Structure 1
Amino acid sequence: MIDLRPIFYVVGRVLVVLAILMLAPAVIDARAGLHNGADFLQSAIITGAVGLMLSVATSNALGLGLSARQAYLMTAAIWGFVPLFGALPFMLGEPHLSFTDAYFEAVSGITTTGSTVIVGLDTLPPGMNLWRGMLNSLGGLGIAFVAMIFLPVLRVGGMQYFRTEGFDTFGKALPRATDIARQLVIVYFGLTLVCMAAYRMVGMEPLDAAVNAMATIATGGFSPTDISFTKYQGLPEYIGGTFMVLASFPYIRFVQMLNGSLSAPLIDRQVRGYVKIIAVSVGMVTVWQVLRSDMPLEAAFRESYFNLASIISGTGFFSGSFGGWGGFSMAVALVLGVIGGCSGSSSGALTVFRVQVLMATLLTQIKLIGTPSRVLTVRYDGRAIEQDVTGALILYVTSYILIIGVMTVALSLLGSDPVSALFAIWTSIGNIGYGYGAMVARTGTFVDFNDASKWVMIVTMIMGRLGLLTILLLVLLRFWRD
């Protein structure tokens, strides 16, 4: 029998932190004379009370160790319980969503997917748009940070928790998980503040700059306006695209830069490959659009850069008319959304690291077909890759593709057209947030999907954020056996 006390102790503490954070939008809306301030306060009281009760009831877990099974279960519990309470403001206050829609919005925010069911973002109370940005920021790396604060109290080394989150430290640049967490906090919120300042310098309103910055660095994509970055075309698109690319670099490389290794991102093969993929994709789509339309070169490049950076990083912002650029552009976008950003960032999908190792594995197998007597080892960046690693990688990629197929069929059976179903699952499992298809065209949101379809997307978003295998592991009977 798995001891659940350490799990619920950490969940309780995380909920207390969540309740405290709710006070910020409560103050903003209260000062604006809006009733939403009281709704946020009520949500904070409920969340804080539940969190305190869980913490007190399980405080006898202090000092106990945490097994691998408990670490995986705790990760899933955090990502399931936190959105449940993060959804309270959406139900109690504007826009008064149903439970399904509110939970969808909260899960989308915390998993940094960025898909929304809210129509009329421009008219929401300012505190509510701030809350959506805060959910993105929490989900980027924040929840992991909060959990890491309490793991030492349980006398747990946090490296196993990082592994359950799919976080790769690439050689463990720092000796202790708590050191990694502390410096990641500096990097994460430092980038957010710099991004916010840059947005303000190019004319964004204060609330838009804050929410967009939190969503950018979290690669979350929750915008405070229905037209996303179309409201701020020009220089803000270049700034947003650049920060989205930076935010989808491995965060550990920024930590290494803080510790004196300024060339750390440049010598990372994954980063170099990621930049090349973006450059080639943007170049192809820009040329395609210039040749097929009368759009000026600069505008075609700017919209291609911003939207493709948004998709591959898993952010989900959009700008201009990119969604109507035709089949070639959307085919490129579809591929980029499957690849995703770098491993060790808040980006989702397969990640460039996995794709690079997969391609190296396939190339090795092709060579062996021609000369089966040769002894070849799969290598990445000069290092040999063990066979069990490549086996796990192939399992992951196969599971990823299989889940896209199964979930797409499920949405189709629930009433969605094939294109909308495919892109809804693509955007959910890759935590992308970029909508496309007939079901999204009317409002630019996912509000027209029925409740059953939204729950399929909710499950898919969580699976994508946790790297699939954490969820698959939890449903295996063997996992629960002593």
Structure 2
Amino acid sequence: MIDLRPVAYVIGRILIVLAILMVAPAILDWRAGDPNGYAIAKAALITGFVGATVAMATTNALATSLDVRQAYLLTAAIWTILPAFAGLPFMLGEPKLRFLQAFFEATSGLTTTGATVIYGLDTLPDGMNLWRGMTNWIGGLGIAFIAMIFLPLMRVGGMQFFRTEGFDTFGKALPRATDIARQLLYVYMILTVTCIAVYSAIGMPPLGAVVHGFATIATGGFSPYDSSFSGFQGAGEYFGALFMILGSLPYIRFVQLLNGSATPLWRDSQVRAYVRWLLTAVLIVAIWRVLTADVAFEPAFRESLFNLTSIMSSTGFFSGSFPGWGGLMLIVAFVVGVCGACSGSSAAGLSVFRVQVAMAVVRRQVRQISNPSAVDPVKYDGRTVEEDVIQALIMFISSYILILGVLSVAMTLLGVDLESSLFAVWTTLGNVGYGFGPLVARTGTFIDFPDGAIIIMTLAMILGRLGLLAILVLLLPAFWRR
């Protein structure tokens, strides 16, 4: 049997931190004279009490090391238990969501999906919009950082946690996981502060700059406005695209950059492919728009750049009329959304790295048709990819496509139209947050989806954030018997 005490102890400590973070939006509403601040404070008290109780009850777990099974369980627990408490402000305060909706909203925030069931964000209390942005920022890399603080207390290096997160440290740029976490947090905060400062400089109101800054670097997509970035066309779209790209690059490369080595970032084939594929998609859609809609190239390019960057980086912002373009745009958006951004960032999807290796495998199979006896190893970035890695990668991609199809069909059985079903699963499984389809068109949110569909989308967000196999392995009886 698995000793659950170490897992419970870390969860308890994280809940305490979550409660402390709720104080900031509560104070913001108190200072504005909004009674919503008391609702958030109540949620903080409940969260802190539960966290302190669990942590104190399992303090003896400090003498127990965390093994790999416990690390997997901890990872799954973080993304399933924390949303229940992070959603309390949405239930106790405005907009007074039901539990299922609040759990969906909090899961969307913490998994950095960006899908929402709240319509009327412009009239939501400032503290609640700040909390939404904070859940994005916490979920980007913050939860991993918080866990890394407590894991060393339990005499575990912490690399298990990074592995269960699907986090690629690319050869350990620093010798210990705690050192990696510390410098990653440093990079994360620098990018966030810089993004907020730039947004403020181009004219965003203070709350909009902060929430958008949190959500951009976390590739989360929560906005305090129903129109998202539509009110900041021009410079807002260009700078938004830039920071979304930065937020979806491997953070370990920024750590190496801070340590005086810029070469790994420029030579990373994943980074180069990501930028190349994104710009290709943007040009295709922009030129198609110019040829078919008789619009000027610059606005077509700008809207395509911002929105496709938002989709491929799995952020979820939108601007202008892009969601209604349809046609070729939907095909391109679907493809780049499935591909996703870079492994080792807060972005989701298959990841450019996996797609690159899969394409290399396909090329090898094609070559072997003409020359079956040739020894033709798959290489990535000049290094041979082992066959067991290839098999695991193919299984991951196959599972991703299978789950995308199964959940889409399941949603249609609940009465949701095919387009809305397919793109709802696409956007939640890939943590994209971008909605398409008749059910999304009215409000730009997922408020019109039935409860059964909300459950399916919530499950898809968790599966997408954990990399599918990290949570599916928990369903195997053998995992619990060992």
CA-based RMSD of the aligned residues comes to 0.6
- Name 2:13's counterpart in structure 1: 13
Task: Map 1:219-238 to 2 at 5 A.
Answer: 219-238=219-238
Task: Map 1:6-155 to 2 at 5 A.
Answer: 6-155=6-155
- Name 2:472's counterpart in structure 1: 472
Please give the alpha-carbon distance, in whole angstroms, between the structure 1 residues aligned to 2:135 and 2:313. 18
Q: Match for 1:394: what amino acid?
A: I
Please give the alpha-carbon distance, in whole angstroms, between the structure 1 residues aligned to 2:63 and 2:312. 42
- Name 2:361's counterpart in structure 1: 361
Q: Match for 1:258: what amino acid?
A: L
Please give the alpha-carbon distance, in whole angstroms, between the structure 2 residues aligned to 1:366 and 1:296. 42
Task: Map 1:188-337 to 2 at 5 A.
Answer: 188-337=188-337
Please give the alpha-carbon distance, in whole angstroms, between the structure 2 residues aligned to 1:18 and 1:252. 25
- Name 1:410's counterpart in structure 2: 410
- Name 1:399's counterpart in structure 2: 399
Please give the alpha-carbon distance, in whole angstroms, between the structure 1 residues aligned to 2:261 and 2:295. 42
Query: How far 1:63 moved relative to its partner?
Result: 2.5
- Name 1:169's counterpart in structure 2: 169
Identity %: 62
Please give the alpha-carbon distance, in whole angstroms, between the structure 1 residues aligned to 2:125 and 2:264. 42
- Name 2:421's counterpart in structure 1: 421
1:398-456 deviation per Cα after TM superposition (whole angstroms, max 9, x unaligned): 00000000000010001100000000000000000000001111111001111111011
Instruction: Determine whether 1:446 maps to 2:446.
Output: yes
Q: Match for 1:164: what amino acid?
A: T
Query: How far 1:264 moved relative to its partner?
Result: 2.4
Q: Match for 2:462: what amino acid?
A: I
Please give the alpha-carbon distance, in whole angstroms, between the structure 1 residues aligned to 2:328 and 2:377. 36
Please give the alpha-carbon distance, in whole angstroms, between the structure 1 residues aligned to 2:73 and 2:109. 21
SS of the equivalent of 2:63 reads coil
Q: Match for 2:41: what amino acid?
A: L
1:20-45 deviation per Cα after TM superposition (whole angstroms, max 9, x unaligned): 00000000000000011101110000
Q: Match for 2:468: what amino acid?
A: L
Please give the alpha-carbon distance, in whole angstroms, between the structure 2 residues aligned to 1:342 and 1:51. 34
Please give the alpha-carbon distance, in whole angstroms, between the structure 2 residues aligned to 1:455 and 1:326. 27
1:212-255 deviation per Cα after TM superposition (whole angstroms, max 9, x unaligned): 00000000000000000001111010000010011100000000
Q: Match for 2:173: what amino acid?
A: A
- TM-score between both structures, scaled by the size of structure 2: 0.99
Q: Match for 2:119: what amino acid?
A: V
Please give the alpha-carbon distance, in whole angstroms, between the structure 1 residues aligned to 2:275 and 2:12. 40
1:139-188 deviation per Cα after TM superposition (whole angstroms, max 9, x unaligned): 00000000000001111110010000010011111111001000000001
SS of the equivalent of 1:142 reads helix
Q: Match for 1:430: what amino acid?
A: G
Please give the alpha-carbon distance, in whole angstroms, between the structure 1 residues aligned to 2:322 and 2:80. 34
Give 5+ residue unaligned stretches, structure 2: none
- Name 1:458's counterpart in structure 2: 458
SS of the equivalent of 2:448 reads coil
Q: Match for 2:463: what amino acid?
A: M
SS of the equivalent of 2:229 reads helix
Query: How far 1:383 moved relative to its partner?
Result: 0.2
Please give the alpha-carbon distance, in whole angstroms, between the structure 2 residues aligned to 1:92 and 1:324. 35
Please give the alpha-carbon distance, in whole angstroms, between the structure 1 residues aligned to 2:16 and 2:218. 22
Please give the alpha-carbon distance, in whole angstroms, between the structure 1 residues aligned to 2:263 and 2:295. 38
Q: Match for 1:330: what amino acid?
A: L
Please give the alpha-carbon distance, in whole angstroms, between the structure 2 residues aligned to 1:217 and 1:162. 19
Please give the alpha-carbon distance, in whole angstroms, between the structure 1 residues aligned to 2:247 and 2:112. 12
Q: Match for 1:97: what amino acid?
A: L
Q: Match for 1:83: what amino acid?
A: P
- Name 2:178's counterpart in structure 1: 178
SS of the equivalent of 2:44 reads helix
1:235-294 deviation per Cα after TM superposition (whole angstroms, max 9, x unaligned): 010000010011100000000000001232111000000000011111111100011112
Runs of 4+ in structure 1 over 3 Å off: none
SS of the equivalent of 1:62 reads helix
Q: Which moved more, 1:217-226 or 1:470-479?
A: 470-479
Q: Match for 1:105: what amino acid?
A: E
- TM-score between both structures, scaled by the size of structure 1: 0.99
SS of the equivalent of 2:265 reads coil
Please give the alpha-carbon distance, in whole angstroms, between the structure 2 residues aligned to 1:324 and 1:228. 15
Please give the alpha-carbon distance, in whole angstroms, between the structure 1 residues aligned to 2:224 and 2:264. 34
Instruction: Determine whether 1:375 maps to 2:390.
Output: no
